[in-house]
Amino acid sequence: MCFGWQLEEVKPQSIIQSATSATIAETATGTYTIVLGKKPTSDVTIRLTSSDTTAATVTPLLTFTRRNWSSPQMVTVTSVNDNDAVRETVIISHAISGGGYDTVSMANFTATMIDDDTAGITQSVTSATIAESATATYTVVLDSEPTSDVTIRLTSRIPQLPQ
């Protein structure tokens, strides 16, 4: 009698993601994919969370089954329009559960939002000729929402005019 042994390598569960970071224009989307490295024992859910939903939102949930475990699923990160000129960085975290994947971890995804707003001012008039004893009025408007107080100093090129 001959007994044969066949050794089979036992691979640990793993999760493969196509990227760990992206730069996304404001109001645009960025994507990456996630796929399981081994067939799960039951459904695996991955809950995705944005560290700042005022800057970017994300696909909230992926579910892998024993049938679709090897098919990459797309994650969409959507940059949210705001009125400031600040470049935000958002961390997308992943909470994994079920199917023998409870102890598996994966890298966070870092999304950097490129803002379409610019800091600056718009004035209704850039120069004016004013008759003696007359007045002139103009407006100054901020081009984007400030992140702190803004002070605008007005000066005159004519030294005898009050500042």
Domain limits of the chain?
A: 15-114
Query: What CATH architecture is 15-114?
Result: Sandwich (2.60)
CA distance 140 to 124: 7
pTM assigned to the model: 0.70
CA distance 131 to 125: 16
Residues 6-25: tens digit of each pLDDT: 665 555 789 999 999 999 99
Q: Which of 145, 10, 143 is nearest to 86 (CA)?
A: 145
**Is the distance from CB of 97 to CB of 43 less than 8 angstroms?**
no
CB-CB neighbours of 82 under 10 Å: 18
**Is the distance from CB of 141 to CB of 122 less than 8 angstroms?**
yes
Residues 31-87: tens digit of each pLDDT: 999 999 999 999 999 999 999 999 999 999 999 999 999 999 999 999 998 877 678
